Amino acid sequence: MSDKGYVHSEVLVSTDWVAAHGNDANVRLLESNEDILLYDTGHIPGALKIDWQEDLNDHLVRDYIGKDAFEGLLRKLGVSNDTTVVFYGDKSNWWATYAFWVFQLFGHTNAKVVDGGRQKWIDEGRELTREKPAVTVSNYVAQERNDAPVRALRDDTLAHQTAGKPLVDVRSPAEYRGELLHMANYPQEGALRGGHIRGARNVPWARAANEDGTFKSAADLRAIYETEQGLKPSDDIVAYCRIGERSSHSWFVLKYLLGYEKVRNYDGSWTEWGNAVGLPIER
């Protein structure tokens, strides 16, 4: 990959790298999309599907799967403990970074993201297939889930807000202002109140992406987050959106591309905050 000045450039791979190494024995490509039907219409050869609803979320409690379910999932995907997992997806990789983030809850740090995701692969005229690769079930051993380093819960976020620490609301300006409860052209549901967490700065997640779905250079990202918003690498930051998927993209940008050490994703986000009694909201 070309050098864009990232602090941890090793977490990104190019489409050229995928074309050369996607079928390596120690690599597993995983496609994670907002549109869960896209994979079946055609995917990168060798890729398997991660369904963010079915695979990563608990089906009863609003939470993520536990250790045993994660272990079972990765065994089914043929991922061993030394496999390099490479994520990509639609919408400039926002669901790919979400899956990447969930994997970090279990300490699976041998993970990367395809810069540009599904869109760039297709735009370059590269091969898609409907054929699902054969999988040999692995003997993956999962770690206990450890949310604290990368995840903020409601009470964590309230304490963070009360202390005046920086919050980044990555939703659209209309959602931030309370005019919409979700992105435009999506069902306006999920919260009883619109607005944003008191004191949060609005930095829409998509500003970090180029038109081809790739991430902007570190210099361009610093111009947004540091010059414009006044953030700095030593800050303790919580990012949020509506359900945590868009904010996982911004979390990835801040943590890995810009090297911020203290960044957490509040996945409860607006569907929790906007429904909770008594929490501080601004418009």
Q: Can 241 be counted among the known catalytic residues?
A: yes
Return averaged pLDDT per consecutive 10 residues of the chain, 283 residues in all: 86 98 95 94 97 94 96 98 97 96 97 97 97 96 97 98 98 93 73 93 97 97 98 98 95 98 97 95 95
Give the HSE-up count for residue 144: Cα atoms under 13 Å, Cβ half-sphere: 2
DSSP state of 144: P
Q: β-strands 111-114, 12-13: how paired?
A: parallel
* C-alpha to C-alpha distance for 166 and 237, rounded to whole angstroms: 5
Check if the beta carbon of residue 168 is closer than 8 Å to that of residue 201: yes
The Cα 20–Cα 231 span in angstroms is 38
Q: Give the angle subtended at the CA of 30 by the CAs of 26 and 32, to the nearest 5°.
A: 165
Query: Which tokens hold the place of 238?
Result: 């919580």
- What residues have CB less than 8 Å from 18, skipping those under 6 apart? 29, 44, 86, 88, 114, 121
DSSP per residue, 36-62: TTHHHH-B-TTEEE--IIIIIB-SSSS
Which amino acid does the sequence have at 193?
R
Residues forming a β-bridge with 29: 47, 86
Kindly state the tokens that stand for 251: 């979390």
Cα–Cα dist 265/183, whole Å:
19
Q: What is the pLDDT of residue 205?
A: 96
Cβ 236 vs Cβ 160: under 8 Å = yes
d(CA 175, CA 222): 24
Cα–Cα distance measured from residue 265 to residue 275, given in angstroms and rounded to the nearest whole number: 18
The residues, any chain, with a CB within 8 Å of residue 60's CB and separated by 6 or more, are none
Q: What is the pLDDT of residue 221?
A: 98
> Tell me, what's the pLDDT at 2?
58
* Confidence at residue 188, expressed as pLDDT on a 0 to 100 scale: 72
Q: In what order do the strands lie in the sheet with 167-169?
A: 201-202, 167-169, 236-240, 262-266
Decide: helix, strand or coil at residue 20: helix
176: closest CA among 242, 237, 238?
242
Q: Running DSSP on this structure, what letter comes out for residue 244?
A: S
Per annotation, catalytic residue among 56, 65, 241, 253: 241
Residue with tokens 């919580």: 238
CA distance 84 to 132: 19
